[in-house]
């Protein structure tokens, strides 16, 4: 095996390591970012509904708004239960955060900063492709 073969093996392993660690870490973080967006969406919907619809329509629409509020509240509770164990941060979350940062440092050391940027870009594109494919058939 020559030096390039060894470098390729390391690169593939580091890509796999980054992907699997990022996937696990994102299972925690995505819920919080989704919740932030849901809250912002709720504000926008409420603002629109206050000014754009007739009073008789608002009553029916309020049910949907209230259902969405309940959904957000439940999601927030689930997020906190997942990320925190009592008043402490879940050790698995902390471990994954540190592991992801360490993986990124190793990628930079082994392959360079540009390679890390490329790996992050590939990962993001893969996640977007998954979302698009999962919603195509619905």
Q: Report how far residue 128's alpha carbon sits from residue 79's, in angstroms, rounded to the nearest whole number.
A: 23
- Per-residue model confidence (pLDDT) at position 81: 87
Q: Which of 28, 34, 35, 33 is CA-nearest to residue 85?
A: 28
- HSE of 38, CA atoms in CB hemisphere, 13 A: 18
Q: Phi and psi dihedrals of 137, rounded to 5?
A: -95, 5
Contact 91, 85 (CB under 8 A): yes
Q: What is the pLDDT of residues 113-122, one digit of tens each?
A: 999 999 999 9
The whole-angstrom distance between residue 45's C-alpha and the CA centroid of its chain comes to 23
DSSP letter at 137 equals T
Q: Report how far residue 19's alpha carbon sits from residue 119's, in angstroms, rounded to the nearest whole number.
A: 9
Which helix (H) or strand (E) segment holds residue 21: the answer is: helix 3-52
| pTM of this structure | 0.81
Q: What is the pLDDT of residues 20-72, one digit of tens each?
A: 999 999 998 998 899 999 999 999 988 887 776 666 777 778 888 899 999 99
Contact 63, 89 (CB under 8 A): no
Q: Which of 14, 10, 23 is CA-nearest to residue 96?
A: 23
Report the share of the chain in percent with pLDDT over 90.
67
The whole-angstrom distance between residue 128's C-alpha and the CA centroid of its chain comes to 11
């Amino acid at each position: 095996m020559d030096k390039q073969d060894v470098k390729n093996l390391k690169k593939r392993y580091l890509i796999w390591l980054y992907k699997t660690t990022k996937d696990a870490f994102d299972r925690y973080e995505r819920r919080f970012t989704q919740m932030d967006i849901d809250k912002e969406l709720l504000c926008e919907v409420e603002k629109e509904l206050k000014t754009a619809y007739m009073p008789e329509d608002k009553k029916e629409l309020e049910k949907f708004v209230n259902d969405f509020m309940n959904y957000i509240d439940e999601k927030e509770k689930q997020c906190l239960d997942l990320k925190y164990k009592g008043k402490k941060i879940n050790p698995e979350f902390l471990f994954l955060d540190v592991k992801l940062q360490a993986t990124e440092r190793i990628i930079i050391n082994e392959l360079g900063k540009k390679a890390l940027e490329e790996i992050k870009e590939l990962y993001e594109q893969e996640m977007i492709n998954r979302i698009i494919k999962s919603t195509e058939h619905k």
